[in-house]
Structure 1
């Protein structure tokens, strides 16, 4: 790949500034289409940085601009994670999109991983419909925010059981009750506010339907031949009934956003690249 160097910068947002990494398309390529990458939640962001960088470079080599943004309170952006809200994060996407438009890109697509996929959809579904379909590349989208939050809270439960913590909470429901009365929780090095917990809890992928959109859903499975889970199949059916027929692609691989060591899934990179080549009108 003959890529131009990625360009780091801080984007004015509200509140504060966001750290961004812009991957320009190859020299001489017109500024036509671009992706905004929306990273996953908490430590999943750090675990997936390498995969995001690899795919971003491929997209840039194909002729796309790619903007990776650290959301408020995440990565190298200003703010504290515990002060972030779902609405601030949606605002971050709006600022990122506006910046790409100001650079001259005509079509802005969204590429989200895990909870970042839901954030992208939730942002876009409230925007005014455009003439051209909005395109989404969704990597392993979270199906249900409540289940996701429960899994995150279990990290605190495990930590508590392995320490001398005198907190009387003994199960996930105890933590939920604390959040419900406005308390914040420290979980795996991140402060989870009650407002953020409530926002995540309410998310359901099946309800995040963006009219006039094209969805490319990529799912990693533990082994070859395993199909989409019943819950995900139900979501696809719900979307299809609303006129959105996602293209779902399954491939075996490691859940790189959750592995102990930094890992890669080349099958996902290859499948994503092939799908975008054939469907987005940009050739390498």
Structure 2
């Protein structure tokens, strides 16, 4: 599939982007903006994102992948990133792609990227559809887990008493902290902590896909509860579970073919009434 790499100008520097487009003879079925996960999960998941984007393009979808501010090959340092800046990047990517195709828009997020696409969808002038890969439900809980990397490192060098509270105190006082090689700004930490995967009132349908290491894959209880709540509120939403490795955190770069196939089905199938 044709793939074009370029820099997308923004109000704050440039964002590296990859555009996958269908062959000219292929019917255009939709447009997809991919929002990557946080920190090292971005690097671990690049191959799966590329494989899925190529598969989507083969099926007739234009796919735009963008590196957010301070991530990947985009300008700026990670320490410059804020939650609002990342949301602005998502809106920029959507606007750019919608200027070039009138096809229905999907926002596709992985892990913490799902929190961003959910919030971005709430702010869009018209509803968009959401494809959620292994979504993070609570930004507060995710931030806690991220900070534990720092706690674990400091416990190896000292007794580790009060490390978590000290880190949170530094963030509250406006100090950036370094965690696993990433400089976390107070603004990004605050925005992430406030993010929650809430009922997406401004979206079209929602396709939620989880990966399980078990052969008899099933949705997590948390996913089932959230989807049930959304469906009861009238949201068109469906959950799917597939078997495969948690590629965003495996030691070696890994693939999950079942996820690629399930995602293509999710985009093309309608949800039964």
Q: Bigger shift: 51-60 or 214-223?
A: 214-223
Q: Distance in 2 between matches of 1:89 and 1:105?
A: 24
Q: Extract unaligned runs of 5+ from structure 1.
A: none
Matching residue of 1:153: 147
Tell me, yes or no, if the aligned pair for 1:22 and 1:68 is still in contact at 8 Å: yes
Q: Distance in 2 between matches of 1:195 and 1:203?
A: 13
Structure 1 residue 147: Cα displacement: 1.0
Number of aligned residue pairs = 271
Q: How do 1:1-284 residues align onto structure 2 when only pairs under 5 Å count?
A: 3-4=1-2, 6-29=3-26, 31=28, 33-130=30-127, 134-163=128-157, 170-205=162-197, 207-225=198-216, 227-279=218-270
Structure 1 residue 80: Cα displacement: 1.2
Tell me, yes or no, if the aligned pair for 1:40 and 1:115 is still in contact at 8 Å: yes
Q: Bigger shift: 233-242 or 76-85?
A: 233-242
1:235 to 1:27, Cα distance in 2 relative to 1, 3 A:
same
After superposition, give the CA deviation of every residue in 1:3-56 in whole Å (9 maximum; x if it has no partner): 22x100000112011000000111223555210000001110000000000000
Structure 1 residue 70: Cα displacement: 0.3
**Corresponding residue SS for 1:74:** coil
Q: Distance in 2 between matches of 1:32 and 1:62?
A: 8
1:91 to 1:212, Cα distance in 2 relative to 1, 3 A:
closer
1:26 to 1:196, Cα distance in 2 relative to 1, 3 A:
same
1:74 to 1:277, Cα distance in 2 relative to 1, 3 A:
same
**Corresponding residue SS for 2:43:** helix
Q: Bigger shift: 227-236 or 95-104?
A: 227-236
Q: Extract unaligned runs of 5+ from structure 2.
A: none
After superposition, give the CA deviation of every residue in 1:109-133 in whole Å (9 maximum; x if it has no partner): 1111001111011011122234xxx
